[in-house]
Amino acid sequence: MVIGGFMEKENEVYLSGSILDVKPIEVHSKIVEIQDLLDYIHIDVMDGLFVPEKTDGINMFKNSLKFENKPLDVHLMVDDPLSVISNYDGADIITFHVENIINDKTMTIDMDKFNEISKTIKGMGAKVGVALKPNTTESLLRMVMPKVDLILVMTVEPGYGGQKLIQHTLNKVENVRKMGYKGLVEVDGGITIENVEEAVKRGANMIVAGTALFKAYNLREAAMALKG
């Protein structure tokens, strides 16, 4: 399967580097340093509504698209994904939250909304990802699993970097696999060299790392350790 501009390999663990807390002036030099180890650049888009914080996701994306030779993994933490998706034309993966499309009456995914967002993303040539917060049940994903390329399990409450991994979220990773999902399962939040092995054993094959990667004393050693 071709994912993000390259061929996905069975049993491979992919590293997506989150530049959320990297100084803009340092992004390029850090990416170059681990060019051969980094599979994606992770762009966190926050609107200050869906999550408390707000990021300049558009500029992070545009700069990465212009200066970095890496597939871009865009994570939309916004109230209205459809209103911003077009800003990320050129992304390889665009992920939105299932919490955006839950029907308040049935407490299930609104498939009309899902299909509209999914169609828009695919129309831009990107892969479709869905994310869920730590306290959102993974059983909601059953209906959309065959229709998505990536499932992002948030291992912290979304909104800011540097948090500690919430241990029970790894059960969600394992359960997603038990439900039969064969695609990319991404984990994001509090992933460190110390806990990445467990995340992978549970079924994750795409690791988002920010603090553990870009604030490490030795960037290359950290990247190699996170990829296993």
Of these residues, 21, 36, 44, 92, which one is catalytic? Answer: 44
Q: Note if 47 is an active site residue.
A: no
Of these residues, 39, 47, 73, 188, which one is catalytic? Answer: 188
Dist. CA 97–CA 42, nearest whole Å:
15
Dist. CA 106–CA 92, nearest whole Å:
32
Dist. CA 223–CA 9, nearest whole Å:
18
Residue 52 is which amino acid? P
Structure-block tokens of residue 123: 């129309």
The answer to whether the beta carbons of residues 117 and 174 sit under 8 Å apart is no
Structure-block tokens of residue 201: 């054993």
Q: Note if 104 is an active site residue.
A: no
Dist. CA 22–CA 4, nearest whole Å:
23
The answer to whether the beta carbons of residues 19 and 214 sit under 8 Å apart is yes
Among 170, 164, 179, residue whose Cα is nearest residue 199:
170
Q: Residue 175: what are its φ and ψ, rounded to 5°?
A: -65, -35
DSSP H helix total and E strand total for the chain = 7, 10
By annotation, the residues acting in catalysis are: 44, 188
